[in-house]
Amino acid sequence: MCLVSTPTILLAILLLFLGSLSFIFLPRAAAWRLNHRKNAQKLPPGPRPLPIIGNLHMLTSLPHRGLQALAQEYGPIMFLWLGNVPTVVVSSPRAAELFLKTHDVVFASRAKVQASEYLSYGTKGMAYSAYGPYWRNVRKLCTLQLLSGSKIESFAALRREGVASLVEWIRGAAAAREVVDVSRKVGELVADMSARMMFGPNLEESYHLKELVHDGLCLLGAFNLADYVPYLEPFDLQTSTVVIIYEVIDSSNVAHLYLWKPAVASIV
């Protein structure tokens, strides 16, 4: 009987896994390269991309410096492939004015990221929805129902309570001759009041959801490889974290929706 060593078995499994991945990635990489060549004449100058990852490897650990070095070589308007995402990089005031002022409507929408698909309910929130009639309606709804003078005034008692509590805490810290980071405490006060206004007077629930919202916002701004190389989404651990946060926040939203269903129906 022939015995096969454990390293040999692991190597065989690894080769089988890589071979399976090649059948998935290589056809897509070939199609990506064909499309890149077809549109190359219409694009600004830029470095040659690699299959699948594009020019991501050129950003280094300090992306702003990596982009600066590339701009010195390819000019103030250059084209990069960030994974599978075609990207135009602008690095001069005059060129930026063309994008942000002259053609601002064309470039008004945010780029879609995976986290926003969950945390913004399919990019339906005002921050991540595409610029257009839907976005204008959502902005109007927020202005009339969330940011109106009467709505802000309805939380006056909550604001007074929060400010009084902060002043009392600072008075106690001063009596004990402790150092106080006022900016940090004011930031915490604003976050706490916002959480209570959004999620209700239940302090324990509000603080828990506030932490989840904070984590969700961090994930929205964090680098996520699946945003640039969608084929790697099944192997991305960040996605599972986003889903967990979404499920907890969504269950709270559903509970509040049923609680305020008559008021919501009158708004809609």
pLDDT of residue 9: 47
pLDDT of residue 88: 92
93 occurs within a structural domain: yes
Domain total of the chain? 1
Report how far residue 73's alpha carbon sits from residue 94's, in angstroms, rounded to the nearest whole number.
Answer: 18
52 occurs within a structural domain: yes
pLDDT of residue 3: 39
234 occurs within a structural domain: no
84 occurs within a structural domain: yes
Q: Which amino acid is at 13?
A: I
pLDDT of residue 35: 59
pLDDT of residue 14: 44
pLDDT of residue 1: 42
Range of the domain at 93: 42-108
47 occurs within a structural domain: yes
83 occurs within a structural domain: yes
CA distances from 35 to 28, 29, 39, 40, 41 (A): 11, 10, 6, 8, 11
pLDDT in tens, the chain (268 residues): 443 344 444 444 444 544 555 555 555 555 655 555 555 568 899 999 988 888 988 988 888 899 999 999 999 999 999 988 899 999 989 888 988 888 888 888 888 888 888 888 888 888 888 899 999 999 998 888 878 888 888 888 888 988 999 999 999 999 999 998 989 889 888 888 887 777 666 656 666 777 777 888 888 888 888 888 887 777 777 777 888 888 887 887 777 777 666 555 555 5
Evaluate whether 220 touches 116 at the Cβ level (below 8 Å): yes
72 occurs within a structural domain: yes
The set of residues, in sequence order, having a beta carbon less than 8 Å from that of 50 and lying 6+ positions away, is: 57
The DSSP bridge partners found for residue 85 are 82
pLDDT of residue 23: 54
51 occurs within a structural domain: yes
